[in-house]
Homo-oligomer: A and B are copies of this chain.
Amino acid sequence: MVIALDAMGGDDGSAMVMAGAALALERYPKLSFIVFGDEAQVRPHLNRYPALEARCELRHTVSCISPEMKPSLALRQGRQSSMRLAINAVAAGEASSIVSAGNTGALMAMAKFVLKTMQGIDRPAIATVFPTQRGECVVLDLGANLECDAENLVQFALMGAIFCNAVLGVEQPSIGLLNIGVEEMKGHDEVRTAAAILRERPLPGVFQGYVEGNDIMEGAVDVIVADGFSGNIALKAAEGTAKFMAHMLKQALQSSLMGKIGYLFARGCLKKMRLRVDPRRYNGAMFLGLQGVCVKSHGGTDPEGFANAIGVAHDLVAHRFNDRIKQELARHYGSADEDRTVTIDSIALTEEAS
């Protein structure tokens, strides 16, 4: 399995990306990489990992996308950038997938432009895995679409369920729509219409109705579907709260001698807890709904986190994630090769027939 890497993205650039790729290779020894970046910058880091070097093709690129660059500008001026050329490698069939820690908006715009949206999917969505009290769950959309209609949300549910199955191995995942209450009359029109459709339509999972913000980390369902605005806010509110709690815990344990002694004893346990909620463990947000696997790593992550993002790409390719979405789309909307207008008619027919 060949994965294309953008070596110029992320706060620590090629040093972090090369170290992460070396770590990923230890975990998945059959991987190989095509690395896109400035050879003068990347080569010294690559040389530090002989095993990686043996499984790596480095392609020199002359430009890169800055974190502040607007997506429209990146599309126009970034044709020779490491990010764009890495995406092109997927479109050309040279790589199975691309992983980048660069500018999210630019990556989404270029991936959409180059890889194209899957037939039957109106808009791609960003999904990630959250830790929960009961295990893990998938949340989407995390910011690709600020406003979503009911059909977009339904498509997110479908893609989220297949993602959950591929990445977390859950058979028939339970699916919830993020809302501000669980009663039927709550929420926007879009959410209520999406719920009505999800109750009727056959799904690669089980629709459980509405969930609220607190249900995410409580693990009420396996897949949480939201518009990109509230999904993004929920994700970041959760991240902020986890940091806040960790900060309060640290402060509490440092506030007295007894606390410090307690910490010495509990250190091992607390470390295990830290690993369990470690954001690096959940690094790797996937752009769902594109004709190609594109994984976005946090820009501020470290090699461990980047290796996990590569792991997400690996799992999605190994589980033939995109083929399965196509199959599900065909099952739900008729043939995935028909165009969207026909597709919507065929839902009505399927529903009447059932």
Chain A residues in the interface with B (C-beta under 8 A): 68, 70, 131-133, 143, 146-147, 178, 180, 183, 185, 187-188, 212-218, 226, 228-230, 232-249, 251-253, 255-256, 258-259, 261-270, 272-273, 276-277
- Can you show 14 pairs from A to B with CB atoms below 8 A apart? A133-B243, A133-B244, A187-B229, A188-B229, A214-B243, A215-B236, A216-B241, A217-B244, A233-B233, A234-B234, A248-B273, A255-B269, A261-B266, A262-B265
The distance from the CB of A96 to the nearest CB of chain B, in whole angstroms, is 30
> What is the CB-to-nearest-CB distance from A200 to chain B, in angstroms, rounded to a whole number?
24
Of the candidates B180, B215, B247, B277, the one whose C-beta lies within 8 Å of that of A229 is B180
A70 touches B258 (CB 8 A): no
Distance in Å from the Cβ of A241 to the closest Cβ of chain B? 4
Complex-state Cα separation, A252 to B270, whole angstroms: 6
* CA of A229 to CA of B188, assembled, Å: 9
Chain B residues within an 8 Å CB radius of A180: 143, 146, 228-229, 232-233, 236
Q: Kindly report how many copies of this chain are found in the complex they form together.
A: 2
Q: CB distance A242 to B240 under 8 Å?
A: no
| Shortest distance between the CB of A91 and any CB in chain B (Å) | 28
Q: Give the shortest distance, in Å, between A16 (CB) and chain B (any CB).
A: 21
Q: Given B185, B212, B247, which contacts A70 in the complex, CB threshold below 8 Å?
A: B185
**Smallest CB gap from A228: residue in B:** B180
Q: Report which of B187, B232, B238, B258 forms a contact with A240, defined as CB distance below 8 A.
A: B238
